[in-house]
Amino acid sequence: MKPFVFHMPVRVIFGAGRVAELRAAIPAPLRRILIVTDPGLAKDGSALRAVGQALDGRAWEVFDEVDENPTLEPVERGAAQARAFGAEAVVGLGGGSPMDAAKGIALLGTNDGTLAEYLDGRRPERPPLPIIAVPTTSGTGSEVTPYAVFTDVEALTKRALSDPGLFPVLSVIDPALTYSMPEALVVSTGLDALTHAVEAYLSTEAFPVNDRIALEAIETVLAFLPAARRRDRPAMDAMAYASMLGGIAITHASTILPHIMGYPLTVFHRVPHGLASAVLLPEFLRYLGRQSTVPEKVEHLARMLAPSGGLEAFLEHLGVSCRLRTYGVTPRDIPLFVPRVIVKGDVAITPASITEEVIAAIYTAAL
Ligand code: NAP
Ligand code: FE
């Protein structure tokens, strides 16, 4: 059997209405907490109020300047606030953007240097501040991963940190916090969970127990995302579960080509993160159908998707076009995108021969 390491050290408290349990679950010595969130959630107030109430009796402050697909600069500012406040832990409250920003702030809260240096490969000398994740979207899985993804506005690319210290110590996944998501956000984040699971299942790093988790995530998304889009609450609860499963799956087997091909769609055309990889998935699977080292897995996925009429039909049924032109992409973009994709490490764990020509061909076929 293939050797593997399975490590998922996050204490997860899952269930609608359970955000109040933060109070008892946060380790007692952690008395000074920085809540990291985005301006919309800070303004809307209900999720922040619930977290603030759970922190009653502790000292806490809010940093609410996280932007979507977080850039480096707000993270530096948040870290300065964490240091000035003497934060002993950070709570990432929101979608993947605030959760990832909280991870960056936690790292810089205890380590010298800039976020850019760590993205360039510097290793943290000290463990980051303890991270507590409270997701309000269902898709990124950041609540259970050791990853944090940032947008480098100078290089016009997205770059990821990966470090065991970035696993949250605690995640309270309270699906009730996701009920305020508008339909389009339910769909785009839900498709992030789907692509995480599909990519981790196909990755050359995959191993059997992780495959079972990925397949459970895929089945859950296929069964519940259409109803979640109509804001059916039990279906939204199921999507929060699928997001967590997808996060566990990429923790062990990573994402592969569709995610890194999706990054330029977000950076250059502002395609929401979840959609950006999902819209490339049909052409990617078509390519793997012709040439891959895992033909049995590609066939298995096709069988799972058949009752929905295939992946493209599933996406179209959710109102998602797989044609890149819909998002403003033109053939002239492709030479801009390809060099940003080929340099990423995840190319090597994609189970097929991937060259610049192949990447360009997948983009072109998806136009
Ligand atoms: P997001 O960027 O965190 O949030 C998108 C928008 O959703 C925000 O502008 C926010 O609007 C709104 N929102 C959040 N929760 C809401 C709620 N409950 N009700 C209504 N609106 C809500 O989106 P995301 O897709 O969750 O995260 C994407 C980021 O995660 C990307 O940067 C991606 O690269 C990263 N990611 C990380 C990992 C990982 O393992 N670390 C994995 C996958 C993706 P308001 O401003 O109005 O609040
Ligand atoms: Fe993702």
CATH number at residue 101: 3.40.50.1970
Measured CA to CA, the distance from residue 245 to residue 173 in angstroms comes to 12
Does residue 153 sit in the same domain as residue 245? no
Does residue 75 sit in the same domain as residue 195? no
Does residue 50 sit in the same domain as residue 163? yes
Average pLDDT, the chain: 97
Does residue 60 sit in the same domain as residue 165? yes
Distance of alpha carbon 128 from its chain centroid, rounded? 20
The pLDDT value recorded for residue 59 is 98
Pocket test for ligand 1, best of 44, 68, 198, 239 (most atoms within 8 A of CB): 68
Residue 258 lies in a domain: yes
pTM: 0.97
Q: Of ligand 1's atoms, which has the minimum distance to the CA of residue 177?
A: 18
Looking at 127, 162, 177, which one is the last position of a domain? 177
Measured from the CB, is residue 45 less than 6 Å from ligand 1? no
Does residue 55 sit in the same domain as residue 95? yes
Asked if the model's pLDDT at residue 45 lies above 90, the reply is no
Residue 1 lies in a domain: no
Measured from the CB, is residue 139 less than 6 Å from ligand 1? yes
Does residue 142 sit in the same domain as residue 47? yes
CATH number at residue 236: 1.20.1090.10
Asked if the model's pLDDT at residue 343 lies above 90, the reply is yes
Asked if the model's pLDDT at residue 291 lies above 90, the reply is yes
pLDDT tier at 214, thresholds 50, 70, 90: very high
Measured from the CB, is residue 178 less than 6 Å from ligand 1? yes
The pLDDT value recorded for residue 18 is 97
What average pLDDT score do residues 137-155 get? 97
Does residue 226 sit in the same domain as residue 314? yes
Q: Which ligand is nearest to the CA of 277?
A: 2
Residue 2 lies in a domain: no
Q: What does the block give as tokens for 71?
A: 């850039």
Looking at 161, 177, 193, which one is the last position of a domain? 177
What average pLDDT score do residues 182-193 get? 98
The pLDDT value recorded for residue 317 is 98
In this prediction, what percent of the chain has a pLDDT beyond 70?
Answer: 100
The pLDDT value recorded for residue 125 is 97
Residue 333 lies in a domain: yes
Does residue 142 sit in the same domain as residue 268? no
pLDDT tier at 284, thresholds 50, 70, 90: very high
pLDDT tier at 118, thresholds 50, 70, 90: very high
Does residue 98 sit in the same domain as residue 205? no
Does residue 249 sit in the same domain as residue 278? yes
Looking at 131, 147, 177, which one is the last position of a domain? 177
Does residue 250 sit in the same domain as residue 237? yes
CA of 95 to the centre of ligand 1 (A): 3
Residue 169 lies in a domain: yes
CA of 238 to the centre of ligand 1 (A): 18
Does residue 139 sit in the same domain as residue 167? yes
Q: Of ligand 1's atoms, which has the minimum distance to the CA of residue 47?
A: 18
Determine the structural domain holding residue 61 and report its residue range: 11-177
CA of 63 to the centre of ligand 2 (A): 24
Measured CA to CA, the distance from residue 360 to residue 356 in angstroms comes to 6
The neighbourhood of ligand 2, an ion, using CB within 5 A, equals: 192
| Exposure letters 259-294 (e unless 16+ CB within 10 A, then b) | bbbbbbbbbbeebbbbbbbbbbbbbbbebbeeebeb
Asked if the model's pLDDT at residue 58 lies above 90, the reply is yes
Number of domains in the chain: 2
pLDDT tier at 54, thresholds 50, 70, 90: very high
Residues 296-330 have pLDDT tens digits of: 999 999 999 999 999 999 999 999 999 999 999 99
The pLDDT value recorded for residue 46 is 94
The pLDDT value recorded for residue 44 is 87
Measured from the CB, is residue 96 less than 6 Å from ligand 1? yes
